Amino acid sequence: MKWEIIEKNLIYQKIAKIWEIRLRFEKFQGGFSQICHWFVLEKGNAVAGVLFDPKLKKVLLVRQFRPMGIFFPDDEQHQWMTEIIAGGLHTGENPKDGFLRECLEEAGIEPTNLKLIYRCYPSPGFYGERMYFYYAEFDSQNFNPTPKGLEQENENILPLLFSLEQIEKLLHEGYFADSKTIMGMLWLLNQHR
């Protein structure tokens, strides 16, 4: 299948880029589409991961403020979200190294037995980001649930431990609103069936 860019203009650039793109693509039934007009937010590559203590069967998640409340003020429950560890990669950074860095920044841990689960595009219709998902193990016996995060990035992150039973219950109750966390928790629960 082919596609053709007619015009591509950078219309915004700070921590991410917004592109205005006019293109056409080959249709399944043959021929090309009419010219489409798209706006794409390009943020680059990111990492996320499931952190699990296999001995005590504990899952590490982090809780932090997210600005979605600005757009959905009726959803007060999800203005502070509980999520898997995640973050953007620095320019030229290896995804594995980036995930290890995020684990230290957000939870103060150095996980072991790191394994790439999959790569995906979280929202390919609008968002230009490729995310690398990892599974890693850690020892929760000496876990310290004090707030973490980088002050220069205005992070205030609380690491939390959950049992597999708690995760399953919270999933069924709709507690998690973050898609990467829902995918990660479903993947983990599937591994333990």
149 pLDDT higher than 80: no
158 vs 147: CA distance, rounded Å: 5
Count of CB atoms within 10 A of residue 59's CB?
21
Domains of the chain: 50-191 (3.90.79.10)
Q: Is the dihedral of CA 136, 167, 189, 172 positive or negative?
A: negative
Average pLDDT, stretch 56-83?
Answer: 86
pLDDT at 2: 93
CA diameter of the chain: 61
pLDDT digits (tens, 9 = 90+) for 73-111: 787 777 789 999 999 999 999 999 999 999 999 999 999
Buried b (16+ CB within 10 A) or exposed e, 64-74: beeeeeeeeee
52 pLDDT higher than 90: yes
What six digits make up the tokens of 106? 């957000």
For residues 73, 77, 80, 84, the Cα torsion angle rounded to the nearest 10 degrees is: -130
Residue with tokens 């479903």: 186
